[in-house]
Chains A and B, each alone.
Chain A
């Protein structure tokens, strides 16, 4: 079963997306901050991480950097509320695999996560 980690400081968003991906036969874990996310990446070992950029404390960009340093194979999709070009560029530079702007289309989100799984399956 494919494993997905959802990182967002808004509990409602985490719960909604968890239920959405569980309905699609994913094994889902959630984290509400950057530190928690790093822990989960180590213990839960997800294939894909949905990572919110704007979080209090360690923000999405810092979290992304650490995840990619320690687990370069994990696919990370950044989720941004406000599309600031600088942050997106910074995220891509730090190795993000894609970014999605909120509000998002659920159909697109699902497709993108599955694409990342496919890429992993092909051994990239």
Chain B
């Protein structure tokens, strides 16, 4: 049994200070290996032991192995394992009612004493066999003191200490100190295990999120494709053909480029989608109104104008294209504020919507309708220019006409008189 008082020759150790150091290291060191190494080295040096060794449970292999050993008689690493049915492990973890803290350790001398007692010698109960196994193990490993380390009642590891080189016994105070250290080590080991598990779970989560994101993007793509064919369907339904939606898109992109807009990546996709899908809401307009060859009544116009909000609503599932909905909502606004549905003016209308306003109107004028031929480009240009500053943003009109002129020049086509004065740079 440990002696009651410290021997006067025992080196002075400020236990509290050491434990504080350990606690600080636990916070600092993510991996417990270094902390465990520090602890065994400290014990070995401070107490002058044949060896100080740490046995730790490996949850993957389900056995206990030595992770560290210091001292002149240190134990080899990776050689010896303790299965969970080993007497030493059984002694500290097997019994349901754990020993009180101040008795929860084993000195070789105590084991010998217990075994020499008659009740153990004569008893055939498992405890005697267990103690014999423990004694044998302690002798094999040259261990004088076994100190268990727990975390939430499970035996995480054991501190195994060899005899003191000076032959002295361990004091009660020292044993208490070792118990606290062993439990600190256990907490460090378990915390690291939890961290590792969390890291692994996070990786798995990230992998799944990626998968979901991939599926979501695919779904968005599919929905977009459906919307695109719907938009084309709408144009085909109308009695006059505005030309293929892709023509509106081409003119719009051309104008944006002329204006020097940033058309890299997502911006381009947004503008392109808005140009293609701007009239998709017309799918919700009754054919009687949509396909009426003549003038619409004021009532019919009221219905017709709802295609703007209907379009925005149809596109709600396209979460990637939130901006597209805003553009579509504004594509019938006019620069001077006389448009619908909200009567926005000037810069309140997004630049993309202002572009759609110009190119959509232009394309409507030049397209053939069932009851009349499409007007000439020259006529359409006049119309667009006349409305510049009122219905249309003059900057957009300017860019559109410049781009149009450049295109015609490139194709070697005749430049309409209305465009001759336009200077292209």
Interface residues of A (CB under 8 A from B): 10, 12-13, 15-17, 20, 23, 81, 102-107
Contacts and interface: CB of A to CB of B under 8 A. Distances in A.
Contacts, number: 37
A105 B82 contact: yes
Interface stretch (B70-78, B145-153, B221-229): B70-78
B65 interface: yes
Contacts of B80: 103-106
Contact of A23 (B66, B81, B82, B139): B139
Contacts of B418: none
Interface of B: 63, 65-66, 74-76, 78-83, 86, 133, 137, 139-140
A10 B81 contact: no
Question: Dominant SS at the B interface?
Answer: mixed
28 contacts: A10-B76, A12-B74, A12-B75, A12-B76, A13-B76, A16-B75, A16-B76, A17-B79, A23-B139, A23-B140, A81-B78, A102-B78, A102-B79, A103-B63, A103-B66, A103-B79, A103-B81, A104-B79, A104-B81, A105-B80, A105-B81, A105-B82, A105-B86, A106-B80, A106-B137, A106-B140, A107-B86, A107-B133
Contacts of A81: 78
B79 A16 contact: yes
Contacts of A17: 79
A111 to B, nearest CB: 13
Nearest to B82: A105
B58 to A, nearest CB: 9
Top 10 nearest A-B pairs (CB, nearest first) are A103-B81, A12-B76, A13-B76, A16-B76, A103-B65, A13-B79, A103-B80, A103-B78, A106-B140, A20-B140
Contacts of A105: 80-83, 86
A64 to B, nearest CB: 20
Contacts of A103: 63, 65-66, 78-81
A20 B140 CA distance: 6
Nearest to B69: A12
B65, B66, B75, B79 pick with most chain A CB within 10 angstroms: B79
A15 B139 CA distance: 15
Given A105-B82, A106-B140, 11 more contacts: A15-B76, A16-B79, A17-B79, A20-B140, A23-B139, A102-B78, A103-B63, A103-B65, A103-B66, A103-B78, A105-B80
Contacts of B133: 107
Contacts of A15: 76
A17 to B, nearest CB: 8
A107 B129 CA distance: 14
Contacts of A106: 80, 137, 140
Nearest to B58: A103
A116 to B, nearest CB: 19
Contacts of B78: 81, 102-103
Contacts of A107: 86, 133
A104 B77 CA distance: 11
